[in-house]
Amino acid sequence: MASLVEDLLNILETEKTTYDQLYDLAESERQYIIDRKLQELETTVAKEQGLGSELKNLENLRLRALRSMAIVLGKDGQDLTVSQIIDLLGNQPEEQSKLRSAKDALVQSATRMQMMNQQNQVLLSQAMELVDFDLTLFRSLHQAPETANYNRSAYSTGDILPSGGFDAKQ
């Protein structure tokens, strides 16, 4: 059982380290969004995807370790969580405290990462709105307003003023 607890501790610590690396990338990503450095942003996103795959693999390892612990503890067929394992290790206070601190550190790192992702999402949304505004403004510079000319049916003819603005000739 002690080796299973050690394996789980190693997995949790590796997950925390990976979340910390992901957080560092997200911080640099935020700066790249602000500075509009698209090449660097693209590179950072590729690195984030690699770390995301690594986190998925670590999650699978964690679930496998938890299943093994459930079998050893006689809880076969149940999907136990780390918190439940901590509760079941009541007679082993040393392992229990190590697991609790590893779990708390992982939860803290994941929460911090989630908040950074939300901030980056807001920044990206604002950047997209700004790009849309710039495009609309750019398009409107090349369009002249419609005239107020109407046909016999009282519909606008849709005539557009010449590109030079108002026509001074009469």
Overall number of domains in the chain: 1
- For residues 85 and 8, what is the distance between their CA atoms, to the nearest angstrom? 10
Residues in Cβ contact with 12 at an 8 Å cutoff, skipping those fewer than 6 apart: 62, 82, 99, 102, 103, 105, 106
Residue 138 lies in a domain: no
Residue 66 lies in a domain: yes
Helical ranges in 36-148 per DSSP H: 38-72, 82-88, 93-141
pLDDT of 144 reads 58
Determine phi and psi for 150, rounding to 5 degrees: -120, 150
Q: Are 107 and 19 in contact (CB under 8 A)?
A: no
pLDDT of 102 reads 93
* Percentage of the chain exceeding pLDDT 90: 46
pLDDT of 163 reads 55
Residues 128-156 have pLDDT tens digits of 898 888 888 887 776 655 566 667 776 76
- For residues 154 and 82, what is the distance between their CA atoms, to the nearest angstrom? 75
Residue 116 lies in a domain: yes
The parts of the chain modelled with pLDDT lower than 50 are none
Chain Cα centroid distance, residue 148: 50
Residue 10 lies in a domain: yes
- Domain range for residue 37? 2-122
Residues 69-82 have pLDDT tens digits of 888 888 776 778 88
